[in-house]
Amino acid sequence: MLPQVPFYFLRHGETDWNRERRLQGHIDIPLNANGETQAESVRAIAASFGFKSIAVSPLSRARRTAEIVNDGLGLPITEFADLREFSCGPYEGSTDGSWLDDWRADRAVAGPEGFEAFRARVLAGMREALRLDRPVLVVAHGGVFWALQRLLGFAEVTHLPNAVIVRFEPPVDSSGRWRIVRGG
């Protein structure tokens, strides 16, 4: 179970492969010029959130986003290998996402890292990340966002655009439901 503390999540800025709708997985694709600009736009509002630390995937697209957002804030940035994107296996670099619905429904798909195993990895990474000084900004990937939604009991997983901050808020009543608030 994830610690019941609020945290912020930021999907990395755009890459050329995002623009081309290619599956990146573990391939270390850098931000493109638009992704850098997106991260700079987030930096303009980041100070208002009062972050104390940043947890980041080790993949350069996430790391660079975190560095740009952190410019001028001077916060500690800590990498967590368990927050890297899921391995798409033979689909990395492909535009064939026809298998993703089955994968997100925990049906067997040959080749990629299983969604259940991926969720377990993300959970381990988040437990470590949420030990950092709070409020924590987690900078990672779209797949990590999907995993978090499922781990926190959301029936459907939704897409998060590049370079958008959301706040995950723990349950405040007996419903046990987490909330995701766009823009924090």
**Residue 68 to residues 13, 76, 128, Cα–Cα distance (Å):** 10, 13, 23
Strand ranges of the sheet holding 136-140, from the earlier edge strand across to the other edge = 77-79, 53-56, 136-140, 7-11, 165-169, 179-182
- Output the pTM of the full model: 0.96
Active-site positions read 12, 85
For residue range 17-76, list pLDDT tens digits in order: 999 999 999 999 999 999 999 999 999 899 899 999 999 999 999 999 999 999 999 999
